[in-house]
Amino acid sequence: MLSLPPVQKLLRQLPAGSAGQPKPPVGGDTAEEVTSPVLATEARQPACYSALRADELRPLAGPEPVVATSTGPLSRHDDLKEMLDSNKDSLKLEAMKRIVAMIARGKNASDLFPAVVKNVACKNIEVKKLVYVYLVRYAEEQQDLALLSISTFQRGLKDPNQLIRASALRVLSSIRVPIIVPIMMLAIKEAASDMSPYVRKTAAHAIPKLYSLDSDQKDQLIEVIEKLLADKTTLVAGSVVMAFEEVCPERIDLIHKNYRKLCNLLIDVEEWGQVVIINMLTRYARTQFLSPNQNQESLLEESTEKAFYGSEEEDAKDAKAEAASLAKRKPYVMDPDHRLLLRNTKPLLQSRNAAVVMAVAQLYFHLAPKAEVGVIAKALVRLLRSHSEVQYVVLQNVATMSIKRRGMFEPYLKSFYIRSTDPTQIKILKLEVLTNLANETNISTILREFQTYIRSMDKDFVAATIQAIGRCATNIGKVRDTCLNGLVQLLSNRDELVVAESVVVIKKLLQMQPAQHSEIIKHMAKLTDNIQVPMARASILWLIGEYCEHVPKIAPDVLRKMAKSFTNEEDIVKLQVINLAAKLYLTNSKQSKLLTQYVLNLAKYDQNYDIRDRARFIRQLIVPTEKSGALNKYAKKLFLAQKPAPILESSFKDRDHFQLGSLSHLLNAKAVGYQELPDWPDEAPDPSVRNVEVPEWTKCTSREKRKEKVEKPFYSDSEGESGPTESADSEPESVSEESGSSSSSSSSSSGSEEEEEEEEEEEGSGEQSEDKEEEEKRPKRKEKEGSRKAAPGSPPEPGSPCSPSEEEEEEEEGVKKAKKKAAQQGRKGHAETSSEEASASESSSSGSDSGSEAEAKRKKAPPSSRAGPKEISLLDLDDFTPPPPQPIPSSSIVSTSLVTDLEGLTLTDTSLAPAMLSPAFSTVRTYELLHRMAGEGLSVEYCFSRRPFPGDPHMVAVQIQISNNTDAEVKSLRVSEPKPLSGMRIQEFPEIECLAPGDTASVVMGIDFCDSTQAANFQLCTHTRHFYVSIQPPVGELMAPVFMSENEFKKEQGKLTGMSEITEKLTLPEKCRSDHAIVQQVTLAANVGRVPCGADNEYRFAAKTVTSGSLVLITLERREGAAAQLTVNSEKMVIGTMLVKDIVQSLAQ
Amino acid sequence: MIHSLFLINCSGDIFLEKHWKSVVSQSVCDYFFEAQEKAIDVENVPPVISTPHHYLISIYRDKIFFVSVIQTEVPPLFVIEFLHRVADTFQDYFGECSETAIKDNVVIVYELLEEMLDNGFPLATESNILKELIKPPTILRSVVNSITGSSNVGDTLPTGQLSNIPWRRAGVKYTNNEAYFDVIEEIDAIIDKSDTKIFNLIFNSVEESDNFCVSVASVKKFHLPLCCYLQNPRLLDDVSFHPCIRFKRWESERVLSFIPPDGNFRLISYRVSSQNLVAIPVYVKHMISFKENSSSGRFDVTIGPKQNMGKTVEGVVMTVHMPKAVLNMNLTATQGSYTFDPVTKVLTWDVGKITPQKLPNLKGIVNLQSGAPKPEENPSLNIQFKIQQLAISGLKVNRLDMYGEKYKPFKGVKYITKAGKFQVRT
């Protein structure tokens, strides 16, 4: 293959017909020109194909006429250029297809660069894509021209469509032109804070590309990686870890803060990302946790091993290890984070992707306590049924594992039995595993199985089997004799290879106990006549020489025969003949003196210098002359010293110092870029580095996490459970967060006037819009003034767990640090009030909730943790805390209002209400959109007015209140650059031309959230500044009430059973047992309408989601005492699950 | 990670190359050819080859070598698994993964590869997403395209990639919902000379093909979860799942609950261990012997059904790799037909259906090379068979619930038991 001259190679690639007659190049060209345009219109595939063939002919014809090459490149692709220049997309496309086909065949198409690059801005998406393909392939060669295309991508980076932004970044970063490094850097930085996770993912992909182009950018890139590592979406996680591994695998410290998050996200990450993350976490865990086996290993594992590989070295190691373990035999407690990793990776053993299974297996092998490693065996055995390449890799790893942990695979012994149809390389690996698994109990079955293999037709495999038998014999003393006898029988085998291999193995075995086996040696001596395989002959000669004392009669005779054939022997045999002669000379000089001299003389004139040297050396050493000195005396000792028996051991021994599953492990050599698997540390590093330190922050993340989980119930486990389903470590957080919100809301429900006033002063804004609202609602709720006021007042305490991460990010970016600090200092005041509230609420709620102990406890705990440390730590923390998190969908934070009670009542009594009950409730919770410090005096709040948005029924109306607290006018206030996620739409409010100092304006904007609780992000612009803001709707606001009769309700409910039904048991607190209270709390949590119901103890509500109009049915059934059952039926399971949580929370107060 | 990919056919032509990072010269494949030559048999080409500057990781599928070039450490299985995914995708798109199919669709292949990897790291490997990005070629479409000049590239940008359920397309609509389950069980066994079964496992997979959709027009449905109840799930010893299955639900209730992808896919694969085993449905009586010092041997094989629960064993095919010394075979079959290829020494006997009344038998004389020593080993018999409407492990799909629809979905379950790697040693 290799030796084929190029022409011949080309000839073989040619289509059969044309191979014979080399066409003149002109013919090829004309043919192409004539045929292709015709074909192009008729059938495309053949056209592109025939073009290709004609094209191929050229290199063949090339070397002959010089004319062809000189005019060739110019005229060569003229037709293609013409097509590319045409106005028709179809022609362009055709040309691009032919060019891509050329690239695919490895043909050079670089001279078309200018013509192609022009089309980079082409409208046709397929042409565009193919141009990208071309560009990425050739840009490196034509850097100057490639620069022409850059501006297109830069434009693409600003596109409102996330997919276009992503693809622009992808191509831009794939163009390997060093000049654009700064542009790439900027683009990556920008994309890393993009709103779309998909774009951020692309940014992560671009990082290693830039790094390979210019490694000087490392520091900046690490910053980006750090930022992306903090990302909470599964989409990004895999890619950024990949980038981390390529750019800065040594910066393990970047992982600390993200460790738990990565563990928790792992199951939802796409499969390729999982592999990378698991491998990285294995390394991380090795540096951060203590060995889980430090105590038992030396006792159990190594002592069994000693029996088999009993060498002195091993013993010494054992002793040392034992001593070490004795020294610190203190009880080992596994770090909870270590446990978290093991627990979260285990389900992935069930993955359909072999690489994921292998990654988990190696993680368990390297990290798990010995007792738990066993779980991986089953999964690995399953992989053995996959493609043979997969088998090959898995078996290599199993072989390594089975040496360390034999017990693990023993139950699956039979899975490693060999079929005659397996490829040889697989057979040999299986044999390796079988040998590793052999022990005294199963050796008889294994040997019986080996017997079958020995008769196989595959001789390489037979040879390997014989070696395997030899290994079993050395390792298991019990069967040594049986094996030896079996091997001796093989000596009479007809196949020479088998015999030779047996001889070699027998030699090794005999060395262990030579005395008893002179018979075998004799038998082997006879074989020298027949066996031709040099290695086997050499082995026999060595054996006879070594044990010539046991066979004194035969040995000289063998030497005689060998001396005769000496000149025809192979080199290794000759060396052994010399050896034999020397040994015989020393032990039995009388009989062999002449023979020895004869052999040495022959060797003296041998062609091989090695043999000549050896002969000279030995002659000096053994034949006494006057010159030879002291050495002569020791000749016997030198030659006939006791030689230790060889240890037959697996080639896979000690391979486990490479991380299993890695390329390096497979090759048993360090591959480029391999990261060593560190040893366990002796002392565990500080585990607190993984704590995500700021309470507010954790709250936010846990909230976020939960939200994520809820959104994709398919991957994760949150399905059907209302409580936090996160793993142990996050539980306390979510509890505290829950109670945090519950306490603040209960504070508002307790409705103390003082607080309210305080708030009112603080806020100082809400008034105007309130008034408007009031006017509308007045008839309904005159009597309830007081409590109503409480409602808008309470919510936006910035200390509460609100403010989406997006805002933080943007703030980090946009707003300068100083300002941020100022803002936070401003907030300190708030935080204090909020903590006051918290404590106030604590007293009130614990008073009322004495019913359930657990609940009381839950409520009691957090305020102390919140109120206490917060006041002290606030100052220090604020410096590095991102601004407090922001509103969450939880409509649990609600205020009481009797209006709603009444509303509920009227609904129950008069079952006739309008079909769409629009602005049902006046009690609205306000959320902060822009704090006045962050907004430089401009403060913006929003609330969900629960009115249909005029103009578009699919939009949720959001009322926005803007107050100007500066002392200058704010002009042209407007929304700009909404960057909605896919499908989301924003209807902006009309521009506010001018807002005088101290003034407040109220506007309504509509947002179609697409029935998701994703935040809507946009910019709020004034004439001077831009603020990035986002509105995140509570799930209860994504629906509008709908009226239906009891029968209708039942009918609809019947359709929405099974997985669309979410049921949750709860205990109603005392004050929430009245009809009023229940109806009121439910309607506060969500914008739903009451459905009449015959039974007293049942409450029904119905709503439709705003965007898709899916029904959401809520049933609350009161049981004995305080027990109740809440059922939500909705085909939008995500919404259902979240709604259940929110309602339960609301009712719990 | 993956630097470049070369597709090489059996005769050693590189017929496609694709580079994701800088271009690697074709000459790197020479190392591969060297290894290929050394291995003699295509199956024995080592999947991982180390060269001075690169590592080559290759797979062999359908007479094509997929050789990828790697420069730095990467888990080999990661690459192998990905390459198989590429081959699966070609299969999915072109109906076959052959050299001609790839050459005919070279542009689509290129576009696919472009989408599947970014900088050597897998990007979109889910068939549903890919199909949204690049439409698979059909005869009709290629005709239409050539007339109108439109393209195979989807004009809408896929949203699936962004969703949490990447395996399902958005807004799939059918007029009716149908779900078909194929429970295909394969028996792996080695039956020893003395007719003691050495081991036998059942491997299988439940594959599902379904049509999903929505009849209420205005509602765009995304979640249409399915729940599949198995009769005796505890049988399963080891399971692997399609990512759409909710693991928690399986753990706690042993129920398969999932949102299915659109189209055919493998839902779960499971293994039933040899402990709670079920009998093997066929037995083989064999008498193969070669006489010492004579150039002939005897061959006599009978296949019979064993405890097949009233189902017929059909599609029985026996293949035997005869020893090299065998020149020819003179056999008579009571049923079906046999062929012997004197070059590869493979005997194939296509039996068909087994009727218990008259057992199929193949018997006759084996001609050996004269003078050659008698073969030591009797060849192993590889048997294939199929039993319709029977899942030998006893697994059953009990119930299928669909949510989000008012009517009962049509559900079809098909059971097949097949021979996997079923070998009889003689």
Instruction: Express each pLDDT in A471-496 by its tens digit.
Output: 888 888 788 888 888 888 787 777 77
| Chain B residues within 8 A of A417 when measuring between CB atoms | 190, 198-199
> Phi and psi (nearest 5°) for B320?
-130, 130
Predicted confidence (pLDDT) at residue B180 exceeds the cutoff of 80: no
The answer to whether the CB of A353 falls within 8 A of the CB of B81 is yes
Q: Which of A737, A685, A701, A723 is nearest to A337 (CA)?
A: A685
pLDDT at residue A930, as a whole number: 78
When comparing pLDDT for B246 and A369, which is higher? A369
pLDDT at residue B143, as a whole number: 61
pLDDT at residue A713, as a whole number: 38
Q: Which tokens sit at A367?
A: 């990290």
Distance CA A516, CA A520 (A): 9
Tell me how crowded residue B327 is: count the other CB atoms within 10 A of its CB.
Answer: 17
Considering only residues 451 to 470 of chain A, which have any Cβ-Cβ distance to chain B shorter than 8 Å?
452, 455-457
Q: Assign B405 a pLDDT band (cuts: 50, 70, 90).
A: low
Question: Mutation test of the interface with chain B: which of A52, A96, A126, choosing the one with the most B Cβ atoms within 10 A?
Answer: A126
SS (H, E, C) A991-1049: CEEEECCCCEEEEEEEEECCCCCCCEEEEEECCCCEEEEEECCCHHHHEEECCCCHHHH
Q: Which tokens sit at B311?
A: 């189902």
Predicted confidence (pLDDT) at residue A424 exceeds the cutoff of 80: yes
| Mean model confidence pLDDT for chain A | 71
Q: Which of A985, A710, A1008, A739 is nearest to A861 (CA)?
A: A739
The answer to whether the CB of A126 falls within 8 A of the CB of A114 is no
| Chain A residues within 8 A of B50 when measuring between CB atoms | 667, 669
Q: Are B247 and A350 in contact (CB < 8 Å)?
A: yes
Q: Does A363 touch chain B (CB under 8 A)?
A: no
Q: Which of A357-371, A1066-1080, A1126-1140 has the highest mean pLDDT?
A: A357-371
Classified as helix, coil or strand, A610 is helix
The answer to whether the CB of B113 falls within 8 A of the CB of B124 is no
Predicted confidence (pLDDT) at residue A754 exceeds the cutoff of 60: no
Domains and CATH numbers, chain B: 2-148 (3.30.450.60), 178-278+390-424 (2.60.40.1170), 282-388 (2.60.40.1170)
Q: How many percent of chain B have pLDDT more than 90?
A: 10
pLDDT at residue B146, as a whole number: 58
ipTM confidence: 0.89
When comparing pLDDT for A848 and A357, which is higher? A357
pLDDT at residue B175, as a whole number: 58
Q: Mean pLDDT, to the nearest integer, of B151-159?
A: 52
pLDDT digits (tens, 9 = 90+) for A789-833: 444 444 444 444 444 444 444 444 444 444 444 444 444 444 444
Q: Mean pLDDT, to the nearest integer, of B181-188?
A: 79
| Chain A nearest CA to B357, separation (Å) | 32
pLDDT at residue B5, as a whole number: 92
Q: Are A93 and B149 in contact (CB < 8 Å)?
A: yes
Predicted confidence (pLDDT) at residue B265 exceeds the cutoff of 70: yes
Q: Where do we find the tokens 């890695």? A: A662
Going A969 to A974 to A975 to A977, the CA torsion angle's sign is: negative
When comparing pLDDT for A636 and B388, which is higher? B388
Q: Which residues of B291-322 are buried (b: 16+ CB within 10 A; e: fewer)?
A: eeeebebebebebebeebeeeebebbbbbbbb
Q: How many percent of chain B have pLDDT more than 70?
A: 74
| Chain A residues within 8 A of B321 when measuring between CB atoms | 420-421, 457
pLDDT at residue A107, as a whole number: 84
Q: Assign A276 a pLDDT band (cuts: 50, 70, 90).
A: very high
Q: How many percent of chain A have pLDDT more than 70?
A: 68
pLDDT at residue A818, as a whole number: 43
Predicted confidence (pLDDT) at residue A752 exceeds the cutoff of 80: no
Q: Mean pLDDT, to the nearest integer, of A19-35?
A: 39
Q: Does A923 touch chain B (CB under 8 A)?
A: no
Among the residue ranges A67-76, A518-527, A725-734, the one predicted with the least confidence is A725-734
| Chain A nearest CA to B367, separation (Å) | 18
| Chain A nearest CA to B153, separation (Å) | 6
The answer to whether the CB of A135 falls within 8 A of the CB of A117 is yes
Q: Are B74 and A390 in contact (CB < 8 Å)?
A: no
Instruction: Select the residue of A101, A423, A666 nearest B106 (Cβ to Cβ).
Output: A101
Q: Mean pLDDT, to the nearest integer, of A145-154?
A: 83
| Chain B nearest CA to A14, separation (Å) | 11
pLDDT digits (tens, 9 = 90+) for A320-342: 544 444 444 556 778 888 889 99
Q: Are B274 and A667 in contact (CB < 8 Å)?
A: no
Q: Mean pLDDT, to the nearest integer, of B129-141?
A: 72
Instruction: Select the residue of B55, B157, B240 nearest A163 (Cβ to Cβ).
Output: B157
Q: Assign B309 a pLDDT band (cuts: 50, 70, 90).
A: low
Q: Assign A302 a pLDDT band (cuts: 50, 70, 90).
A: very low
When comparing pLDDT for A1018 and A538, which is higher? A538
User: What's this model's pTM, rounded to 2 decimal places?
Assistant: 0.65
Tell me how crowded residue B53 is: count the other CB atoms within 10 A of its CB.
Answer: 10
Predicted confidence (pLDDT) at residue A543 exceeds the cutoff of 50: yes
Question: CA of A169: which chain B residue's CA is closest?
Answer: B118
| Mean model confidence pLDDT for chain B | 77
When comparing pLDDT for A957 and A852, which is higher? A957
Helical spans, DSSP H, in B70-117: 76-94, 99-104, 106-116
Q: Mean pLDDT, to the nearest integer, of A975-998?
A: 74
The answer to whether the CB of A263 falls within 8 A of the CB of A335 is no
Predicted confidence (pLDDT) at residue A728 exceeds the cutoff of 50: no
Q: Mean pLDDT, to the nearest integer, of A868-883?
A: 37
Considering only residues 240 to 259 of chain A, which have any Cβ-Cβ distance to chain B shorter than 8 Å?
242, 246
Q: How many CB pairs under 8 A join A and B?
A: 308
| Chain A nearest CA to B120, separation (Å) | 10
pLDDT at residue A639, as a whole number: 80
pLDDT at residue B86, as a whole number: 92
Q: Which of A62-71, A432-441, A842-851, A1046-1055 has the highest mean pLDDT?
A: A432-441
pLDDT digits (tens, 9 = 90+) for B22-81: 888 888 899 999 888 888 788 888 999 998 889 999 999 888 999 999 988 899 999 999
Angle between helices A817-848 and A731-750 (to 10 degrees): 70
Angle (CA) B78 A362 A328, round 5°: 155
Instruction: Select the residue of A105, A272, A423 nearest B121 (Cβ to Cβ).
Output: A272
Q: Mean pLDDT, to the nearest integer, of A993-1002?
A: 79
The answer to whether the CB of A94 falls within 8 A of the CB of A48 is yes
Q: Assign B263 a pLDDT band (cuts: 50, 70, 90).
A: low
| Chain A residues within 8 A of B71 when measuring between CB atoms | 672-673
Q: Are A419 and B241 in contact (CB < 8 Å)?
A: no
pLDDT at residue A1084, as a whole number: 81
Q: Assign A1085 a pLDDT band (cuts: 50, 70, 90).
A: confident
pLDDT at residue B68, as a whole number: 93
pLDDT digits (tens, 9 = 90+) for A385-410: 888 999 999 999 999 988 888 888 88
Predicted confidence (pLDDT) at residue A591 exceeds the cutoff of 90: no
Distance CA A895, CA A781 (A): 15
What's chain B's Rg over C-alpha atoms? 26
- Tell which phi-psi region holds residue A126, choosing left (phi > 0), alpha (psi between -120 and 50) or beta: alpha
Distance CA B317, CA B350 (A): 5
pLDDT at residue A696, as a whole number: 41
Instruction: Select the residue of A381, A666, A672 nearest B72 (Cβ to Cβ).
Output: A672
Question: CA of A171: which chain B residue's CA is closest?
Answer: B118
Predicted confidence (pLDDT) at residue A550 exceeds the cutoff of 90: no
Among the residue ranges A406-410, A463-467, A547-551, the one predicted with the least confidence is A547-551
Q: Mean pLDDT, to the nearest integer, of B121-136?
A: 80
